[in-house]
Structure 1
Amino acid sequence: MRNLAFPTTLYLSLLGSSAVSAAVSVYNAEATVTGAYDPTQVTGLPNFDNTVLTAPAPPSPAVTQLSWSVPNTEDALVSQGYELGVKQRGNFLGFSIELSVADQIMGKNPVNLKVPFLNYLANIRSRAGMGPLVRVGGNSQEASTLYPQGFDGHAIIEKVRADGTVTPTINYSPDIFYMMANVSNMVDAHWFFGLSFNQSAVETQSPNVPLVAQTAQQMLGYHLLGLQLSNEPDLYVDHNKRAAGWTVENFTAEYSEIRNEILQDASLSNKQFLIGPSVCCDKVGFELDDVLATGWLDQEKDNLAYVAVQHYPEDNCGVNGNYLNAQDIYPEWLNHTSVTNLTVPYFNGTRAALAAGKEMIMFETNTASCGGFAGLSDSFAASLWMADYALQMAYRNFTAALIHVGGQSVYYNPFTPPPSNMTSVWKWTTGSVYYSTLAIAETLGPSNASQVVDLSPQNNNIYAPMYAIYENGAPARLALFNYVSDASGGSDYVATISLGGADLPSGNVSVRYLRAPSVTEKYNINWANQTLGASYTSDGRLYREQETVSIQCDMTAKTCSIPVYAPSMALVFLTTGAIQEAVGAEQATATFATTVVNVGSATVDPGALATGNGQMGSSATGATSEGSAKTSEATAMLTISSMMAVLLMATTIFAHQTLN
Structure 2
Amino acid sequence: MKKTEPLHAIFDTPMYRRSFLLGSMALTLAACGGGGGNSGNAPPPSQLAATIRFSQTNSGALLDSNYAGLSYEKTRINLFNPSNTNLINLFQLLGNNILRLGGNSTDETSLNGQILGTTAINQSQLSNLSAFLQATGWKALYGINLAGSNQAPNLTNAQQEAQAVATALGSSLIGFEIGNEPDLYVSERGYRPSGWGYSNFLSEWNSLANAIQTATPAIPLTGPASSYNYKQFTDPFAHDAGNSISTLTHHYYIANGQDPASTISRMLQPDPHLTTILQSVTQSASAAGVGFRMAECNSFYDGGSAGVSNSYASALWVLDYLFTCAMSQCQGVNLHGGGGSTYSALTDNGTNITSVNPLFYGIMLFSLAAQGRAYHVDLSVNDPSANFTAYGVSRNDGGQNILIINKDSSRVSQTTVQFASNIRNVRQWTLSGSSLNSLTGTRLNGAPISINGSLSNAPSSLSTNSGSIAINVPPITAILLQSA
Instruction: Give me the whole-angstrom Cα distance separating, in 1, the residues matched to 2:412 and 2:346.
Output: 30
Does structure 1 retain, via aligned residues, the 8 Å contact 2:226–2:234? Answer: no
Instruction: Give me the whole-angstrom Cα distance separating, in 2, the residues matched to 1:391 and 1:414.
Output: 18
Give the alignment of 1:63-74 within 5 angstroms.
63-71=47-55, 73=56
Aligned position for 2:165: 216
| Paired AA for residue 250 in structure 1 | N
Instruction: Give me the whole-angstrom Cα distance separating, in 1, the residues matched to 2:206 and 2:153.
Output: 17
Does structure 1 retain, via aligned residues, the 8 Å contact 2:50–2:379? Answer: no
Aligned position for 1:412: 343
Does structure 2 retain, via aligned residues, the 8 Å contact 1:306–1:360? Answer: yes
Q: Tell me the secondary structure at the aligned position of residue 93 of structure 2.
A: helix
Q: CA deviation at 1:401?
A: 1.0
Q: CA deviation at 1:366?
A: 1.3
Q: Tell me the secondary structure at the aligned position of residue 208 of structure 1.
A: helix
Aligned position for 1:106: 80
Does structure 2 retain, via aligned residues, the 8 Å contact 1:116–1:428? Answer: no
Does structure 2 retain, via aligned residues, the 8 Å contact 1:394–1:452? Answer: no
Q: 2:405 aligns with which of 470, 476, 481?
A: 481
Instruction: Give me the whole-angstrom Cα distance separating, in 1, the residues matched to 2:306 and 2:234.
Output: 37
Q: Does 1:380 align with 2:309?
A: no
Does structure 2 retain, via aligned residues, the 8 Å contact 1:67–1:497? Answer: yes
Taking a change above 3 Å as real, the CA distance of residues 220 and 462 of structure 1, as seen in their structure-2 partners, is farther
Q: Tell me the secondary structure at the aligned position of residue 60 of structure 2.
A: coil
Does structure 1 retain, via aligned residues, the 8 Å contact 2:235–2:280? Answer: no
Aligned position for 1:492: 412
| Paired AA for residue 118 in structure 1 | I
Does structure 2 retain, via aligned residues, the 8 Å contact 1:415–1:430? Answer: yes
Q: Does 1:136 align with 2:77?
A: no
Deviations 1:24-74 (A, max 9, x none): xxxxxxxxxxxxxxxxxxxxxxxxxxxxxxx98999433420112322x3x
Aligned position for 1:553: 464
Aligned position for 2:428: 511
Give the RMSD, CA atoms, in angstroms: 3.0
Q: 1:571 aligns with which of 474, 477, 480?
A: 480
Aligned position for 2:388: 464
Instruction: Give me the whole-angstrom Cα distance separating, in 2, the residues matched to 1:419 and 1:185.
Output: 21
Taking a change above 3 Å as real, the CA distance of residues 402 and 293 of structure 1, as seen in their structure-2 partners, is closer
Deviations 1:163-213 (A, max 9, x none): xxxxxx321112222112101221111001111112389827663101111
Q: Does 1:255 align with 2:196?
A: no
Give the alignment of 1:282-297 within 5 angstroms.
287-291=229-233, 294=236, 296-297=237-238
Aligned position for 1:655: none
Q: Does 1:311 align with 2:286?
A: no
Deviations 1:135-156 (A, max 9, x none): 111101101110199xxxxxxx
Aligned position for 1:453: 376
Q: Does 1:84 align with 2:26?
A: no
Taking a change above 3 Å as real, the CA distance of residues 456 and 376 of structure 1, as seen in their structure-2 partners, is farther
Aligned position for 1:6: none
| Paired AA for residue 204 in structure 2 | E
Deviations 1:487-530 (A, max 9, x none): xxxx010222235xxx5122343221111121122221112233
TM-score, with length taken from structure 1: 0.62
Q: CA deviation at 1:249?
A: 2.1
Deviations 1:209-241 (A, max 9, x none): 011111222221221111111211111111211
Q: CA deviation at 1:434?
A: 0.7
Structure 1, unmatched stretches of 5+, are 1-54, 78-82, 126-130, 150-158, 163-168, 282-286, 577-660
Instruction: Give me the whole-angstrom Cα distance separating, in 2, the residues matched to 1:471 and 1:332.
Output: 33
Q: Tell me the secondary structure at the aligned position of residue 436 of structure 2.
A: coil
Taking a change above 3 Å as real, the CA distance of residues 308 and 419 of structure 1, as seen in their structure-2 partners, is closer
Does structure 2 retain, via aligned residues, the 8 Å contact 1:515–1:569? Answer: yes
Q: Tell me the secondary structure at the aligned position of residue 545 of structure 1.
A: coil
Aligned position for 2:94: 124
Q: Tell me the secondary structure at the aligned position of residue 251 of structure 1.
A: helix
Does structure 1 retain, via aligned residues, the 8 Å contact 2:221–2:247? Answer: yes
Aligned residues: 444
Instruction: Give me the whole-angstrom Cα distance separating, in 2, the residues matched to 1:457 and 1:201.
Output: 59
Instruction: Give me the whole-angstrom Cα distance separating, in 1, the residues matched to 2:151 and 2:60.
Output: 40
Taking a change above 3 Å as real, the CA distance of residues 118 and 204 of structure 1, as seen in their structure-2 partners, is closer
Does structure 2 retain, via aligned residues, the 8 Å contact 1:202–1:254? Answer: no
Q: CA deviation at 1:566?
A: 0.6
Q: 1:186 aligns with which of 113, 135, 157?
A: 135
Instruction: Give me the whole-angstrom Cα distance separating, in 2, the residues matched to 1:439 and 1:222.
Output: 28
Deviations 1:85-116 (A, max 9, x none): 2212222111111122232x324xxxx63221
| Paired AA for residue 435 in structure 1 | Y
Does structure 2 retain, via aligned residues, the 8 Å contact 1:200–1:209? Answer: no
Aligned position for 1:434: 360
Aligned position for 1:34: none
Give the alignment of 1:644-655 within 5 angstroms.
none
Q: Does 1:62 align with 2:3?
A: no
Instruction: Give me the whole-angstrom Cα distance separating, in 2, the residues matched to 1:457 and 1:247.
Output: 48
Aligned position for 1:363: 295
Instruction: Give me the whole-angstrom Cα distance separating, in 1, the residues matched to 2:45 and 2:318.
Output: 27
Structure 2, unmatched stretches of 5+, are 1-32, 37-42
Structure having the higher strand fraction is 2
